[in-house]
Amino acid sequence: NARPGDIILLRGGVHNIDYEVWIKPEMGGADGKFLTIAAYPGEEAIFATPRRLIINASYIRIHGIYFQNNRVDVVRGGGMQQYIEIINNRFDGGPRYGAIEFSANKGLIEGNVILLSPTGRTTDHGIYILRSSDNVIRNNYINGPTGYCIQIYDERKSGDPADTVFTISNVLVEKNFISSSAERTGIVIAPGPQVRIENVVIRNNVITANNFHAILIRGPATKNIEIYNNTFYQNGRQGINVGDGSGTGISNVIIKNNIFEDSPNDNGKVYPSWYKIAHIQVGENVENVVLDNNLYWPESVPFYGITDTNAIFGDPLFVDTTNNNFHLQETSPAIDVGVDVGLPYSGAAPDLGAFEYGFPIKPSYDVSVVGIGNFSSAEVGQPFNMEVTIKNAGLDTLRGVVGWKATITDSNGVVVGNPVGVQPLDRLPPEFTATVPTIAETQWTPQKEGRYTVQVTVAYNGDENPQNDTLKVSFNVGGTSVLLVSFQAAVKNNTVQLTWRTTPEVHASGFEIECSSDGRQYQKIGFVKRQDTTQSYQFLDKTVKAGHYYYRLKLLRLDGSFEYSSPVEVTVRFPNQFNLEQNYPNPFNDSTIIGYTIPVPTGNSKAAVLNSSLKIYSLAGRLIRTLVAEENKAGSHKVVWDGKDDQGKPVASGVYIYKLNAGDFTLAKKLLLLR
């Protein structure tokens, strides 16, 4: 009975199922409405069937489930599926062929922990990508398979047409930790018979301690492979092998801004004669390989078939390789010596390797609960469906499932209810607000009138650095007192915006606004008078500087009494450097958002104004569209491009350049439009 947009919650405990579990085409979601299968909030759901979870439907999300000794298999039976998301799951044991086997378009494999045990079968891999297009493999931790950690491979099957060539294309592999293939390689790109592989980007990964190579690229139909800003550390024989011998049928490979630290060894295995000990080996028949501006250590390890004319030699000075911390120390020779490949960077030039020095070590999120509402519906004997408003003001896009738990206590402190809410996040941008209602089965029914307190804790578990926040609010069941429905704070244009909503203010004269920098000592900063015509209020604090602040409301009653709201917190960050963000979504086929930042000048003034322009160009340098041509104040800005030129005509599919000019600052990046 599940429908598009529904969530199927798998309760905690071990689920032993003796047969394959199928999600068939008619069971899928719809555009913008994923069907989500997720672990129940706060519980560990273990899927222990000896068979597979097979997905043959579109718009499916699998989130937060523990797969023991089995796998998720996304198949193409009856046609190619699309928009499958495998997020934040755990896999262990020795699943056959791959923990995640994936053949679908426009998919996302993100945040999974794959800890596999050697099986002796070199066909057992971590993530296995077959014929498909436009898939993203991001932020996964893969360790220990006998076969490849990530295999991008397919071949003609017995039922396929004899004259058809299949394609694996537009694959993005980024920000993964890829380690300890027992008998193979970290990443392999290898088309089989009647398959071609093209347009693969591998960037910002750490690939370490694999048996043969960090990356192996094979023919005979492989082209357009880009390898940027990865860290390759002590893989068995080579950092990268392009060609696996001759290299026939491989073309257009770009290798830039990587770090190779190799202490090759034989690891007790038998190698083909062409697997020489090397940082990089390129086959003699490979066409058009660009090797530029990488760091190598030790210098004594050779190259075969190619040279890096801008090679940098030296110890990269990682922070702590014993604990897999491959960030750069302050004195690393890899800092500010890279070339611009379109990735964000800090400093005079990009750094080399997977991590930019000075950037946050983990994704930066600021997930908070900013409102608890629907109190006016709390009546004796009626189920209470509470609404919790959740805000992300962080730097990164959230995907996955966000949830909250609440504890409701009466005036004596006795717990009377524990409602829960959970909601999937469908590719939401870095700043968003979502209202999440109570799961029906956990609704609380008040048994008597009185004063109650609800404390809500919200958690987003979509990455390795979960964020949590708590808000407490009091309300009445029955009576006519002023009830605070919601109270939230947001930063907009370097100003703190406070908004709150109440039920009818029968006994209130107004609200004093108080602010604190430590959460203990508060000062009055303003007053808002009660209004007869509205229950929604706003106050702007334009005096703030960079820092963390606490705000609370002092509700003044007509009888002279008062009460305080629970505080809300907000962090004010003024930008200190220019930035041009990667457009989102990318690729896109309708419209895309481009963000950029104008910094605040020294002295923390908010009055900086610069003549700025943001323009779209073709790869040939022809101006397509002027999006911005005006004075911009310091702060963060966003603009939408609808894929049209200055005459309002839709432009063709392809790669375009967007370029920011602000004062003396210039930065350009690429985007991809797919019609």
Average pLDDT over residues 517-537: 85
8 vs 434: CA distance, rounded Å: 20
Average pLDDT over residues 46-56: 86
Instruction: List, for residues 661-674, the tens digit of each pLDDT value.
Output: 888 788 889 988 88
CB 337 within 8 A of CB 352: yes
State how far the alpha carbon of 354 is from the alpha carbons of 227, 308, 359, in Å: 11, 19, 11
Average pLDDT over residues 480-498: 74
**Count of other CB atoms within 10 angstroms of residue 316:** 24
Question: 668 is written with which tokens?
Answer: 């350009």
Average pLDDT, the chain: 83
Q: Indicate whether 2 belongs to any domain.
A: no
Say if strands 420-428 and 398-409 run parallel, antiparallel, or are unpaired.
Answer: antiparallel
Q: Please tell me whether residues 568 and 610 are part of one structural domain.
A: no
CATH of the domain at 116: 2.160.20.10
Instruction: List, for residues 113-144, the tens digit of each pLDDT value.
Output: 899 988 888 888 999 999 999 999 998 999 99
Instruction: List, for residues 585-618, the tens digit of each pLDDT value.
Output: 888 888 888 988 887 765 544 446 778 899 999 9
Task: Give me the domain span that covers residue 464.
Answer: 367-572
If phi over 0 gives left and psi between -120 and 50 gives alpha, with beta otherwise, what is residue 158?
alpha
Q: Indicate whether 356 belongs to any domain.
A: no
Q: Please tell me whether residues 568 and 591 are part of one structural domain.
A: no
Q: How many helices, marked H, and strands, marked E, lie in the chain?
A: 0, 59
Q: Please tell me whether residues 587 and 563 are part of one structural domain.
A: no
The domain total for the chain is 3
**Count of other CB atoms within 10 angstroms of residue 254:** 16
259 vs 348: CA distance, rounded Å: 19
Q: Indicate whether 344 belongs to any domain.
A: no
In angstroms, the first-to-last Cα distance of the chain is: 35
674 vs 112: CA distance, rounded Å: 28
Instruction: Examine the fold and report which residue of 542, 572, 602 is the final residue of a domain before the chain moves on.
Output: 572
pLDDT band at 480 (very low <50, low <70, confident <90, very high): very low
Instruction: List, for residues 187-227, the tens digit of each pLDDT value.
Output: 999 999 899 999 999 999 999 999 889 999 999 999 999 99
181 vs 514: CA distance, rounded Å: 57
338 vs 345: CA distance, rounded Å: 10
Q: What is the DSSP string of 595-629?
A: EEEEPPPTTT-S--EEEEEEEEEETT--EEEEEEE
Q: Please tell me whether residues 466 and 615 are part of one structural domain.
A: no
CA atoms lying within 13 Å on the CB side of residue 632: 24
Burial, 87: exposed, middle or buried (Cβ in 10 Å; 0-12, 13-18, 19+)?
buried
pLDDT band at 462 (very low <50, low <70, confident <90, very high): very low
State how far the alpha carbon of 141 is from the alpha carbons of 86, 178, 208, in Å: 13, 6, 12
454 vs 436: CA distance, rounded Å: 16
114 vs 135: CA distance, rounded Å: 18
- pTM for the structure as a whole: 0.66
Instruction: Examine the fold and report which residue of 266, 300, 328 is the final residue of a domain before the chain moves on.
Output: 328
Output the pLDDT for position 243. 92
Instruction: List, for residues 373-416, the tens digit of each pLDDT value.
Output: 555 556 788 887 777 766 665 545 555 566 677 888 887 888 88
Q: Does residue 151 surpass a pLDDT of 80?
A: yes
Q: Please tell me whether residues 416 and 519 are part of one structural domain.
A: yes
Instruction: Examine the fold and report which residue of 513, 544, 572 is the final residue of a domain before the chain moves on.
Output: 572
Find the range with the poorest average confidence among 277-286, 382-391, 411-420, 471-480. Answer: 471-480
Output the pLDDT for position 331. 94
Q: Please tell me whether residues 450 and 595 are part of one structural domain.
A: no
* SS3 at position 256: strand
Q: Does residue 364 surpass a pLDDT of 60?
A: no
Q: Please tell me whether residues 560 and 589 are part of one structural domain.
A: no
Q: Indicate whether 513 belongs to any domain.
A: yes
In 444-507 the beta strands, taken as DSSP E runs, fall at 450-460, 467-477, 484-492, 495-502
Q: Does residue 56 surpass a pLDDT of 90?
A: yes
Q: Please tell me whether residues 230 and 376 are part of one structural domain.
A: no
CB 225 within 8 A of CB 253: yes
Q: Please tell me whether residues 14 and 162 are part of one structural domain.
A: yes
Q: Indicate whether 132 belongs to any domain.
A: yes
Burial, 208: exposed, middle or buried (Cβ in 10 Å; 0-12, 13-18, 19+)?
buried
Average pLDDT over residues 146-170: 89
Q: Indicate whether 619 belongs to any domain.
A: yes
CB 152 within 8 A of CB 167: no
Q: Indicate whether 64 belongs to any domain.
A: yes
Q: Please tell me whether residues 501 and 398 are part of one structural domain.
A: yes
Q: Please tell me whether residues 159 and 274 are part of one structural domain.
A: yes
pLDDT band at 638 (very low <50, low <70, confident <90, very high): confident
**Count of other CB atoms within 10 angstroms of residue 572:** 16
pLDDT band at 444 (very low <50, low <70, confident <90, very high): confident
CATH of the domain at 650: 2.60.40.1930
Looking at the DSSP bridge assignments, the partners of residue 53 are 21, 72
In 155-263 the beta strands, taken as DSSP E runs, fall at 166-174, 177-179, 187-191, 195-203, 206-208, 213-217, 222-228, 231-233, 238-242, 250-256, 259-261
504 vs 485: CA distance, rounded Å: 10
Q: Indicate whether 129 belongs to any domain.
A: yes
Average pLDDT over residues 230-243: 92
* SS3 at position 119: coil
State how far the alpha carbon of 450 is from the alpha carbons of 376, 414, 445, 476, 532, in Å: 14, 13, 13, 6, 26
Question: 362 is written with which tokens?
Answer: 């983990």
pLDDT band at 514 (very low <50, low <70, confident <90, very high): very high
Q: Please tell me whether residues 413 and 540 are part of one structural domain.
A: yes
Output the pLDDT for position 272. 65
- The number of angstroms, rounded, from the C-alpha of 49 to the middle of its chain's C-alpha atoms is 29
Rounded to the nearest 10 degrees, how much is the dihedral formed by the CA atoms of 519, 522, 526, 530? 80
311 vs 295: CA distance, rounded Å: 6
Looking at the DSSP bridge assignments, the partners of residue 178 are 142, 207
